[in-house]
Amino acid sequence: MTQLNHTSTPPTQFEGFKVCINAQQARADIILDRPPFNLVSIRQAEQLRTVFEALDIDSTIRVIVLRALGEHFSRGCEFEGSGHAAGEDLAWRTWTMDFPSRCGKPVIAANRGYCFGAGFELSLACDFRIATETTLYALPAQSVGLGCGSGGAGRLQQMVGIGRTRDVVMRSRYIRGAQAYDWGVATDFVADAELENLTDTLVRELLASSPLVQRAAKRLLNAMENAALAAQTELEG
């Protein structure tokens, strides 16, 4: 794995994303960068996992932001709709895509534009999701003959209930940013031009708390959530 360095210059050796570390602000930004739709490849997901694991043990980093360049966060996996996913180890994929949740530090997903499939599942595994008026969340796998397989349906059901989850998954329905906020899927909703400002504000708020207390709180909340989620994600796979 490429070593992360504590400079403002992102490494360039990663596939489809960049990492920008600001040690002075105790912040790391993981930036999806595969225009125009920031599709996530299997190799990229594995690299993202290793980066999250490295940041988790980096004592200079307190908060992680997952965001994207361009108009869209991510339209999903590059193999979605091709039938290739059927040959993958879905249990491994679910575990890999869960890396934001397993990280002991707060993780913020800054979502604008399309946030579909794997993009939505990655965001659901984060602690905070900021949506804008351009944000569209969806788990559209069924519309192309596939099924959910990375934990997204289970996480969504815990947030919004079985009825709304059925509507989103079985009808491949979109959740717009304002609706996501009303449902509790998004923790904040802002104008698109204010996404970066609110992300910065949330980072500062999180930095004001004790890192040990935050890690303990996340571990406790994950334990309560995962008691039921483990069975749900196993069924998805």
List, for residues 211-234, the tens digit of each pLDDT value.
Answer: 999 999 999 888 887 666 555 555
List CB contacts of 181: < 8 A, sequence separation 6 or more. Answer: 131, 187, 188, 189
- How far CA 205 is from CA of 63, 65, 199, in Å, comes to 10, 13, 10
Average pLDDT taken over every residue of the chain? 85
Residue 77: band (very low, low, confident or very high) from pLDDT cuts 50, 70, 90: confident
Would you state the pLDDT for residue 8? 37
Residue 10: band (very low, low, confident or very high) from pLDDT cuts 50, 70, 90: very low
Would you state the pLDDT for residue 75? 94
Do β-strands 27-32 and 63-68 pair in parallel, antiparallel, or remain unpaired? parallel
- What is the set of domains in the chain, with CATH numbers? 17-236 (3.90.226.10)
Start-to-end C-alpha separation, the chain? 28
The single residue listed with the structure tokens 């698109």 is 192
Which 3 state secondary structure label does DSSP give 127?
Answer: coil
Would you state the pLDDT for residue 70? 96
The one-letter amino acid at 229: L
Q: How many CB atoms lie within 10 A of CB 235?
A: 9
Work out the average pLDDT over 193-210.
Answer: 97
- What is the spatial distance between Cα 173 and Cα 170, in angstroms, rounded to a whole number? 8
Of all residues in the chain, the percent with pLDDT exceeding 90 is: 66
Nearest to 181 by CA among 159, 213, 197: 159
Work out the average pLDDT over 127-154.
Answer: 79
Work out the average pLDDT over 145-157.
Answer: 71
- What is the spatial distance between Cα 126 and Cα 222, in angstroms, rounded to a whole number? 11
List CB contacts of 96: < 8 A, sequence separation 6 or more. Answer: 45, 46, 49
Of all residues in the chain, the percent with pLDDT exceeding 70 is: 79
- What is the spatial distance between Cα 134 and Cα 120, in angstroms, rounded to a whole number? 14
